[in-house]
Structure 1
Amino acid sequence: MYKVMLVDDDYPVLELLSEMIDWDGIGLTLQSMHENGAEALKEAETNMPDILITDIGMPKLNGIELTKNLKAKKPDLTVAILSCHNEFGYAQQALKLQVQEYILKDMLDIDEINQMLLQFKEAIDKERSAKKNQRKMTTTIERSKLIMIERFIHKTVDHPIYNENEWYNDAAVLGLQAGCEYKIILCIIDQYQASMGRYRTRDMLDFVVHNVITEVLKDEKHVSYGHFQSNESFLFLPKQKDNQATIKLIRKIQSALSQTLGISMSFMIGNTGENPLQIKTEMTRLLNATTEKFYLKPQSVEEFKQLTVSKQNIFKWYDEASKELKEVILTRSMDEKNTVFEKWIHFITTNQFPAEAVKDWMLKILLDIKVRIQALAYFKQYESAETLHDTFSKINSVYELEDWLKEYFIDVIEFANTEPITNMEIANACKYISDHINQKITLDEVAQHLHLNSSYFSRLFKKEVGETFVKYVVNLKMKRAKELLEQTNYTVYEISEQLGYDNQSYFNKIFKASEGVTPIEYKNGVSS
């Protein structure tokens, strides 16, 4: 529903309009009423209306000045002016501000006001629909171009180049030009899985990152950027850019990504290529630098340098590491956890073992710990072997591994410090709820998933968990809502949608009942 703000220093007029207009019937919400323009302006700073109905002559701030201030913040604001004056000067000022209606109070008719508001709503609907379709069309065109760029890069890397002229014709989608020598730079999103968690799909993440980077590059001549796969993309800089200018541009990209999206990106600077084959060779060399990328520090800018990989077998330290990490869980010591992780991550980075060997070593340690302490019910239900395998396959650097391990052990220790759920049916129910937190979840749905009678499942759930099914789901959703409000730039509407709420007002109500403040108040409190 669109929001309406009423402003008039004549309170009977406010009362008449608020009570006599069929707000719900029109499909509008009366957001607020104010007796002077200054109060209305203050309210609009945090809660901007879609429609403003205001008197002209008011203390502190008149209606013309109020309209001017609000229009500066929201140019498409719909405005109706109420006035006791019929002088041409006021109407002229209102027209300059593109006010939709100018109504004399002595000719005020509630039926006409209702009709006017209905027309306002229909006009806003049409305008927003048109803008939405335009944005959708623009987005579709932009995404089609991204797909073409990605296909071109894949084709360059994966297939032989038989014809240079044909290659340059295809390269036009990326902006690469014949006769220009390019410095090849590999761009790597740090903590890629964490970044993915803040966006609905990989395509959405690629799209927003591409938009930010191309916005930074819009005034740079002959500089091209294209996504390749998962967390990797390429930057092509003309050779005439010296190292200082290159690093300055990269830092500008890093700053934009960090400030706009909260994303960290590292850059590995390779050699130059003056023809398709040289460009392909350098791109392939950077992509195959698995170990070099594994030890690349977050937010770094490094000239590519081949690392000397340790020839020692990391499994020589298997028993020692396994024993110390198992002890962290059994003693449930958070302080010890940090010490142990720092020790072993330092050990790995100092020796520079091959990336795959490190991941294989750590995965086997975790699986071994899982088997040895499987008597602990909380651990059995926490992560399956398949989930761990999948997670480790997606870890790209030793620093991402360190952060993931810390979060993993924090969660496991938290499970250990709570009363374990020993009933495997309820444990599976909790896992199902967690996996489907972005959807509307009902008791009947989960009971059916477990092949249980709904009434029996409801009683069993409360007995094992200590709270009702509905309360448990709401608490879990509110916890996730707070994480999204703290860590992302999603709007409250987007967050409510991601958590399976069809109605934002209902989500706001549930959040306030749970946390004591509205989502907006919570977000403002976190950011202040």
Structure 2
Amino acid sequence: MKICRVLIVDDEITIRKGLTKLIEKNAPNWSVIGEARNGVEAIEQIRTLSPDLVMTDVRMPHMDGIEVSRHVHETFPGTRVVILTGYKDLEYAQAAIRYGVLDFLLKPCPEQELLKVLDKAGRLIMQDLQKREVHLLEQQLIEEHVVRSLMLRLPYDPNKLEDIHGKFARKELLMLKVTTYLPDTKSYRKSDLPLLQFALTNIVEELIGTFRLKGKLLPVIHDVYAVFLEAHPSIPEFAGSLGDALDQVLGIPNVIHPVGYIENVAQLPACYEAVASESSRTDALPDSTLELQTVNQNKVRAVQDEIMSKIMLGQSDLMKEYVADYTAGLKALPIEKAKLEALTLVLSLYVIIQKEFSQEQSILDIGEPLSALRLMNEPDDVLTWTSGQAELFYREFGSWLQHKNENIIAKAIRYIEDHYMESCSLTEVAGVVHLSHNYFSNLFKKEKGESFVNYVTSVRMDKAKILLSNTNMKIAEIAESVGYDDPNYFTTVFKQFVKHSPREYRKHSNNQ
């Protein structure tokens, strides 16, 4: 689940702060990534931050909300806009409809109306995201098909050559050849081949990440793979580790061919033929599984993102519900499909444990789940095993969470002490400690006995009192020194907390 990002644009600081507080408190799937005082600032921040949604006032100095809507519509088509307006401005604001404005909110914004608009925007943003993901996957499959056809000297669409040249040429190329998927040392069956291929592609991609390389894996035929990598000095070590990992984890004999730098995709057929000419045992596998490998790897990443988003939002119950629903769905699938889906989920859980919960980074060992899965003949067995793996994951998650919470508030407080003079927002500090703003807010209040906003304000007021008592700085300078751009707003907050205005407090301190 995606965390949607919103930029708030209004020339009144109280409106900006009020909306930010409402969103951070009541909309866990949203993050306020910035504020702007006018349209000019908004356009610059949109360009820098790429928000999913802009909530903008209509009447502002320098550039109004209508002009902001027009600019977003023409320049940032992936960003949605909601107009904030008063009753007297409503007719004027409706001029923005021609720029695709999503909705209008009347100020002051009632909480329920705000949440309703955010829910509507969130659904549309997710729909757009899913459409883009489907389109990107389709493009990826088409490009891989063209490269595969080029390597095999099969017909392909020449109009696609320019697209693939930028992604597959001027790269370091490794060719991986599997000698056999059915070695005498293993009791693999031909029905295990899709699982073995899935496991192989996962090991390659995990190692690419472990070595911090940039690249992609392309299955050419069932026993030959091309690995395209950006130039990096660790590629020879990666190649050695890859061969060892496939042999140790899967027991699959293989040969790695470091082809070297590829200037042009026209070189690819010869690269493939040099590898394919080597003798190997025949393990028949339909070519239709090649594109399935790409789909499976994309699904592993999607499942990881879904689980981690719920963890980061502090929604452990929803995370467990997602895993339980995914597991329950295995029962209705044919056995081989159920195995692949179970492996997808369990690999996702393993990767999260390794990357997020573990202090040590190592090659993911998928030999154990693969060995267990391949011997199963009934969907019920797959379901039971998958549920057991999920329980192991929950235990690791519980230990990680307990350890993480012990130091998280201390880290947040240190950050506040060092950055109180900056924006130091709930969303910012939550990001520093890698939690959702909603979860962090609840945790902070539980541990400190007061809200995050109140704590930060108290720190700022204490610093301001020191400056008022011990320096001749102007009120505006002190306001800026403790994190307030607007000295009038600083004065209002100071009076609320201290029961005196800054001038009164200074005068009282000097008379003592």
Shorter-chain TM-score tier: 0.3 to 0.5
* Bigger-Rg structure (1/2): 1
Structure with the bigger RCO (C-alpha within 8 Å, sep 6+) is: 2
